[in-house]
Structure 1
Amino acid sequence: MPPEALAGVVHPTLPANIIERYVGATAGVLGAALVVVEIGILGWGVFARYVLDNPATWTDEVATILFIWLSMIGAVIALQRGEHMRLTAAVDMLPQSWQPRFDAFAHVVSATFLAIVSWYAIQYTIAQADAITQALEIADSWRASALPVAFLAMLLIELGRLGRHRPTHLAGSAAIAAAILVLLFAFRGTWLAWGPMSLTVFFGPLVILFIFSGAPIAFCFASATIAYLYFGTGTPLTIVLIRMDVGMSNMLLLAVPMFIFLGLLIEVVGIAKTMVSFLVTLLGHVRGGLEYVLLGAMFLVSGISGSKVADMAAVAPVLLPEMKQLGNDPGRMVALLAASGVMAETIPPSLVLITVGAVAGVSIASLFAGGVLPAAVAALALVIFVSLQSRRSGAKSERASARDIWNAFLLAAPGLLLPLLIRFFVLEGITTATEVSTIGVFYSLVVGLCTWRKVAWRRLFPIMVETAALSGAVLLIIGAATAMAWALTQSGFSRGLVQVMSGTGSVVPFMALSILVFIVLGSVLEGLPVIVLFGPLVFPVARALQINDVHYAMVIILAMGLGVFAPPFGLAFYAACGIGRVDPSTVMKCIWPYLGVLLLALLVIATFPVITTALL
Structure 2
Amino acid sequence: MLIWFLPLFLVILMIGMPVFFALLAAPGLLLYLDGQERMLATLYRNVFTGIDSFPLMALPFFMLAGELMNRGGITLRLVEFSQAIMGHLRGGLAHVNILSSILFAGLSGSAVADTSALGSTLIPAMEKNGYTRKFAAAITAASSVIGPIIPPSGIMIIYAYVMGESVAALFLAGIVPGVMVGVGLMLMVRLLADRYDLPKAERIVKKDQTISATENLIARVLARLNMIGVLWGLHVLVASLLGTASLPPLAGLIGFAVVSELIFTAARKRMSEPARIVYKRAVVPLQTPVIILGGILIGVFTPTEASVIAVAYAILISFFILRSMKLADLPAILMRSALGSSTVLLLVGAAVAFKTVVALSHAPEELAEFILSLSENPYMLLFLINILLFIVGMFLDAGPAIIILGPILGPIFVEIGVHPVHFAIIMSVNLTVGLATPPMGLVLFVASSVSGERVETISKAILPFLAVEVVVIFLITYFPAISLTVPRLAGFIQ
TM class by shorter-chain length?
Answer: 0.7 to 0.9
The answer for the alignment partner of 1:179 in structure 2 is: none
Deviation at 1:460, TM superposition (A): 1.8
Instruction: Map Cα deviations across residues 283-314 of structure 1 (whole Å, 9 max, x no partner).
Output: 22322111111111111111111211112222
Question: Match for residue 399 of structure 1?
Answer: 203
Q: Aligned pair 1:595/2:398, yes or no?
A: no
Residue 359 of structure 1 pairs with residue 185 of structure 2: no
Q: Deviations over 1:504-536 (max 9, x none)?
A: 323212211211111111111111111010111
TM-score by length of 2: 0.81
- After superposition, residues 191-230 of structure 1 pair within 5 angstroms as 195-196=1-2, 199-200=3-4, 202-204=5-7, 206-230=8-32
In structure 1, give the amino acid aligned to 2:474. Answer: L
Q: In 2, Cα distance between the equivalents of 1:484 and 1:394?
A: 47
The answer to whether structure 1 residue 582 and structure 2 residue 450 are counterparts is no
- Deviation at residue 208 of structure 1 after TM alignment: 3.0
Corresponding residue SS for 2:151: coil
Report the counterpart of residue 437 of structure 2 in structure 1.
566
Equivalent residue letter for 1:578: S
* Residues in 2 aligned to 1:483 and 1:462: alpha-carbon distance in whole angstroms: 32
Q: Select which of 100, 109, 118 maps to 1:306.
A: 109
Q: Note the alpha carbon deviations across 1:370-403, whole angstroms, 9 max, x for none.
A: 0000111111111111111123422244434622
Looking at structure 1, the residues matched to 368 and 278 of structure 2 have their Cα atoms a distance apart, in angstroms, of 53
Deviation at 1:235, TM superposition (A): 4.2
- Note the C-alpha offset of 1:354: 0.4
Identity of paired residues, percent? 28
Query: 1:77 corresponds to which residue?
Result: none
Question: Aligned residue for 1:241?
Answer: 44
CA contact (8 A) 1:262 1:305 kept: yes
Q: Which amino acid aligns with 2:288?
A: L
**Runs ≥4 residues deviating over 4 A:** none
How far apart in 1 are the matches of 2:73 and 2:445?
26
SS of match in other structure, 1:344: coil
> CA deviation digits over 1:106-148, x for unaligned, max 9?
xxxxxxxxxxxxxxxxxxxxxxxxxxxxxxxxxxxxxxxxxxx
By how many angstroms is 1:281 displaced?
2.0
Cα distance, 1:610 vs structure 2: 0.3
The equivalent of 1:468 in structure 2 is 338
Aligned partners of 1:212, 1:253: CA distance in 2, in Å? 29
1:523-542 matched pairs, under 5 angstroms: 523-542=394-413
Other-structure match for 2:227: none
* Deviation readout 1:452-471 (Å, 9 max, x if unpaired): 33414333211211111111
For 2:15, give the aligned amino acid: S
Q: Structure 1 regions of 5+ residues with no counterpart?
A: 1-194
Aligned to 1:444: 314
Answer yes or no: is 1:387 the counterpart of 2:190: yes
Contact 1:308 1:344 in 2 (8 A): yes
1:545 is matched with which residue?
A: 416
- Cα drift, residue 415 of structure 1: 0.9
Matched residue of 1:407: which SS?
A: helix
For residue 498 of structure 1, report the CA deviation from its aligned partner: 1.7
SS of alignment partner, residue 343 of structure 1: coil
Aligned residue number for residue 148 of structure 2: 345
Structure 1 residue identity aligned to 2:95: Y
Once residues 594 and 526 of structure 1 are traced to their aligned partners in structure 2, the CA distance between those partners, rounded to angstroms, is 20
Cα displacement (A) at 1:441: 1.4
| CA distance, structure 2, for counterparts of residue 577 and residue 253 of structure 1 | 30
Corresponding position of 1:168: none
Amino acid at match of 1:535: G
**C-alpha distance in 2 between matches for 1:336 and 1:494:** 37
CA distance in 1, matches of 2:170, 2:203: 39
Q: CA contact under 8 A between 1:256 and 1:351: conserved in structure 2?
A: yes
Alignment of 1:364-379 (within 5 A): 364-379=167-182
Q: Deviations over 1:22-44 (max 9, x none)?
A: xxxxxxxxxxxxxxxxxxxxxxx
Whether the aligned pair in 2 keeps the contact of 1:272 and 1:415 (CA below 8 Å) is no
**Cα distance in 2 for residues equivalent to 1:529 and 1:469:** 17
Per the alignment, residue 502 of structure 1 pairs with 372
Of stretches 332-341 and 351-360 in structure 1, the one that deviates more from structure 2 is 332-341
Residue 238 of structure 2 is matched in structure 1 by: none
Q: What TM-score do the two structures reach when normalised by structure 1? A: 0.66
Unpaired runs of 5+ residues, structure 2, are: 206-271, 488-494
- Give 2:360's aligned residue: 490
1:187-234 deviation digits (Å, cap 9, x = unpaired): xxxxxxxx44xx32x431x33332123221110110111111111241
What residue identity is the alignment partner of 2:9?
V
Contact 1:288 1:387 in 2 (8 A): yes
Which amino acid in structure 1 is aligned with residue 389 of structure 2?
A: F
Output the amino acid matched with 1:295: I
Task: Determine which of 63, 87, 91 is the counterpart of 1:288.
Answer: 91
State the distance in 1 between where 2:306 and 2:63 align. Answer: 13
The residue correspondences of 1:95-106 to structure 2 (distance < 5 A) are none
Residue identity opposite 1:291 in structure 2: A
Whether the 8 Å contact between 2:108 and 2:147 is mirrored in structure 1 is no
Higher relative CO (Cα under 8 Å, sequence separation at least 6) belongs to: 2
Report the alpha carbon displacement of residue 244 of structure 1 after superposing the two structures with TM: 1.3
Conserved in 1, the CA contact under 8 Å of 2:152 and 2:289? no
Query: How far apart, in 1, do the equivalents of 2:67 and 2:302 lie?
Result: 21
Q: Does the aligned pair in 2 maintain the 1:506–1:545 contact within 8 Å?
A: no
Pairwise CA distance, 1:338 = 1.4
Q: Which of 393, 397, 405 matches 1:522?
A: 393
> CA 1:294–1:400 in 2, change beyond 3 Å: closer, same or farther?
closer
Q: Is the 8 A contact 2:58 2:308 kept in 1?
A: no
Cα deviation for residue 561 of structure 1 reads 2.2
Equivalent residue for 2:129?
A: 326
Residue among 258, 276, 301 paired with 1:431: 301
Structure 1 distance, partners of 2:298, 2:381, is 33
* Distance in 2 separating the partners of 1:579 and 1:547: 40
1:605 and 1:343 map into 2 onto residues whose CA distance is 14
2:204 and 2:448 map into 1 onto residues whose CA distance is 30
Bigger Cα displacement from structure 2, 482-491 vs 448-457:
448-457
Determine the C-alpha separation between the residues in 1 that align with 2:429 and 2:108. Answer: 18
